[in-house]
Structure 1
Amino acid sequence: MRALVLLLLIAYAAAAPAERIKDLAQVGGVRGNPLVGYGLVVGLDGTGDQTSQAPFTVQSLKNMLTQLGVTMPPNVNPQLKNVAAVAVHATLPAFAKPGQPIDVTVASIGNAGSLRGGLLLMTPLRGADGETYAIAQGNLVVGGFGVSGKDGSRVAVNVPSAGRIPNGATVERAVPGALDAGGDVTLNLNSPDFTTMQRMVDAINRDAGPGAAHAVDAVTAAVRAPADPSERIGFIARLENLELVGADAPARVIVNSRTGTVVIGARVRVTPAAVSHGSLVVSIAERAAVSQPAPLSQGETVAVPRSTVEVSQEGSRMFLFAGGVSLDEIVRAVNQVGAAPGDLVAILEALKEAGALRAELDVI
């Protein structure tokens, strides 16, 4: 195609390959937990917060110095160019134990120009319940940088106001594991589907015995598991590696209106329809003609604008969709007419409105 459009063709083989349960579902309750904290980054090279516009940075520094035994006069308002107030966030992995390191991300919440070269001071990271689950501290790794001049001009590459600290936090509190409660083990499909759910339940019952698993809904399956924790781990490990053939995805066409990307699913079908595609070209040219007065006359030489407007219609093409054509035939027909991204979207929308497109059309 002449247009810069990416057609991601999702096609399935005649015999779909088997997939593991661990690739289709997740064990219920086994997930990460978000953590967030507020801290200070020090040691910046004059790129910190401007205290006149970020007074909370000065307040935070005064509170920290007071806790460390340093008393500052109340009327002193230091100009801190090497300190920045930041938000720190991380994800506490499932089954994380005290003492284990986790990565943290640091982002400026004031007007700091860059965090490059900064050091994050000890920052508690709290969960949704308000409890502290990790402590973060360390040197930032910033992928971007910025340069500014005295006239206010500034050039930045990537985002210098955010960075990461690999292994920058230490877990202080463990989250109770979902597997310690006993009872049934739940498996949640990544994408709701009744067919895939039934096939997964059948595969588990063939391996663990009739009645070992039953479907709760299109997402969740409950599996009878041993009560002993060590036996439950081995049982879940065996379940994760069971293989089954997942159901085909529903017929769907996804259109990204911002980038022009079009994704057409393999199950998309079109009923009999005819599509005409052509383009109207309008050309407008402006030129100046010089008007020269006759000799010995009182006239003046002037430039007179001349406009030329041409309208041309390129050869329109019409192609016919037979009933139940496949994805390959749809793409081949659209490529033959050289449809641009906007034209392709218009064709798909017209087919949908005409009732000829047997698929969901989602515009994102």
Structure 2
Amino acid sequence: MAFPRLYHRTLLLFVSVLSLSFATTSMAETELRNICRLKGQEENMLTGLGLVVGLNGTGEAGDRATMEAIARVMELLGSPVDSASGYLDDRAINELKKIKNASLVIVRATVPATGARRGEKLDCTVSALNGKSLYGGQLAFAALQGPNPKDGQVFALCSGSIHVENVDVPTVGFVHNGCQMEEDVRTPFYLERNGAKYITLVLDRNHASFHTAANIATRIREDYSGYYTSNAELAATNDGYDDQFVRAIDATNIEVRVPETYLSQPVQFAYELLEKKISEEDAEARVVINKRTGTVVISGDVRIGDVVVVHNNIVVEAGTAVEFTQLVDSNSVNPSLQRLVTQLNMLKVSEEDVIEIIQRIAVAGKLHGKLIIE
């Protein structure tokens, strides 16, 4: 049977990292809203160019794009500086080059997953394309467009005082409630097809798996089968799915047909659907490492195969048979990573060394779980 051995700082120490207790099956449950969302309910990014003024000599108007932005603002304020041809002439260029209190910026605003309505105000971020600092600046004007700027539609207008949060990055700031919506951005949560309405549940990336998707489809099928009167009714949509009112499309998406009872109340159906509980059995074996903070998170039953790791003055050995067979975990002959980490911490091994040992085990193909480096 496989046991790990740990040698640390030249002291010959044998440490079993197998769990001393017998494993029990966990049947914890969670609501669907905690592990998935509705397709169509996504955030949207609005982007546009803007002009910041009022800078204390930290701006830059030497490039043509910034000069044209300044000319555009002045034109809107009734003081055009361009020539009759519509282009900046030499006189205007020479005058605008002298300006040091303006900067050209990229402005972004995030529309929440629930959408936004005309007149609603959002925060927006401002990133300078030129100049040294945005401290004390005012966003004079910015017109924001959607993901497809080619259509030319303006969804929001932005202006207001810029707040710089990070003193080390003075060229990035934000404007609180500086973005006012000029058009509605709607995020429909159902799709109409052949006279029927369909809702698609999208599992988040940390829970997406064929096992979970199949379990959710089964649970919905059991709970809502009585809402569909017959196979004939289900096939009436001619959508090619026969009587499958719910189906797991892949490891991430589960499509559900809205029952006739809820056709006029899709919001109520979506609410009830997201409140359904699903068991979290057989959690995926996963190790998440954040090198910046030195954090190691272990979920599921992560095991270690036969391996020897030598790092600095630490030797970790797993897979050598020893006579203390009463310490064997009843469900696996492989050592538990969680117990190994616990023993390393007890020996005051540094966070950096613990993380490096885990990574070496994974590179050797002996970490029986998914390794995620943040």
Q: Same fold (TM over 0.5)?
A: yes
Q: Structure 1 CA distance, aligned partners of 2:223 and 2:107?
A: 45
Call closer, same or farther: CA 1:92–1:272 in 2, change over 3 Å: closer
Does the alignment pair 1:216 with 2:249? yes
Structure 2 runs not aligned, ≥5 long: 1-7, 9-22, 83-88, 227-243, 321-332
- Counterpart of 2:130 in structure 1 is 110
Q: Structure 2 CA distance, aligned partners of 1:206 and 1:18?
A: 17
CA displacement 1:300-342 (0-9 Å, x = unmatched):
xxxxxxxxxxxxxxxx766556732223321133335544455
The Cα of 1:274 is off from its aligned counterpart by: 5.4
- Counterpart of 1:30 in structure 2 is 41
Call closer, same or farther: CA 1:237–1:318 in 2, change over 3 Å: closer
Higher strand residue share? 1
Larger radius of gyration: 1
The Cα of 1:275 is off from its aligned counterpart by: 5.3
Secondary structure of the residue that 1:120 maps to in structure 2? strand
Does the alignment pair 1:44 with 2:55? yes
- Counterpart of 2:335 in structure 1 is 325
Secondary structure of the residue that 2:183 maps to in structure 1? coil
Query: 8 Å contact 2:191–2:198 — kept in the other structure?
Result: no
- Counterpart of 2:86 in structure 1 is none
User: Residue 201 of structure 2 aligns to which amino acid in structure 1?
Assistant: L
Query: 8 Å contact 2:42–2:187 — kept in the other structure?
Result: no
User: Residue 119 of structure 1 aligns to which amino acid in structure 2?
Assistant: Q
CA displacement 1:196-250 (0-9 Å, x = unmatched):
1122122222332265422111111111115777500111011111111235443
Q: Structure 2 CA distance, aligned partners of 1:336 and 1:91?
A: 46
Larger relative contact order, structure 1 or 2 (CA cutoff 8 Å, min sep 6): 2
Call closer, same or farther: CA 1:230–1:116 in 2, change over 3 Å: farther
User: Residue 50 of structure 2 aligns to which amino acid in structure 1?
Assistant: G
CA displacement 1:73-117 (0-9 Å, x = unmatched):
731423112211111001123332211111111111112x22222
- Counterpart of 1:85 in structure 2 is 104
Q: Structure 2 CA distance, aligned partners of 1:359 and 1:343?
A: 20
Q: Structure 1 CA distance, aligned partners of 2:147 and 2:289?
A: 36
Secondary structure of the residue that 2:338 maps to in structure 1? helix
Call closer, same or farther: CA 1:60–1:185 in 2, change over 3 Å: same
Match of 1:60 among 43, 65, 69: 69
1:163-174 alignment runs, 5 A limit: 163-174=173-184
TM-score with structure 2 setting the length? 0.70
Call closer, same or farther: CA 1:342–1:328 in 2, change over 3 Å: closer
Query: 8 Å contact 1:319–1:333 — kept in the other structure?
Result: no
Higher helix residue share? 2
Q: Structure 2 CA distance, aligned partners of 1:66 and 1:106?
A: 23
Q: Structure 1 CA distance, aligned partners of 2:106 and 2:64?
A: 16
CA RMSD of aligned residues (A): 3.2
Secondary structure of the residue that 1:61 maps to in structure 2? helix
Call closer, same or farther: CA 1:277–1:39 in 2, change over 3 Å: closer
Match of 2:201 among 184, 187, 208: 187
- Counterpart of 2:234 in structure 1 is none
User: Residue 70 of structure 1 aligns to which amino acid in structure 2?
Assistant: S
Q: Structure 2 CA distance, aligned partners of 1:142 and 1:59?
A: 25
When structure 1 is superposed on structure 2, of 127-136 and 204-213 the one drifting more is 204-213
Match of 2:302 among 268, 283, 286: 268
Match of 1:139 among 151, 155, 161: 161
Identity %, equivalent residues: 29
Call closer, same or farther: CA 1:247–1:91 in 2, change over 3 Å: farther
Secondary structure of the residue that 2:57 maps to in structure 1? coil
Secondary structure of the residue that 1:239 maps to in structure 2? helix
Q: Structure 1 CA distance, aligned partners of 2:347 and 2:35?
A: 39
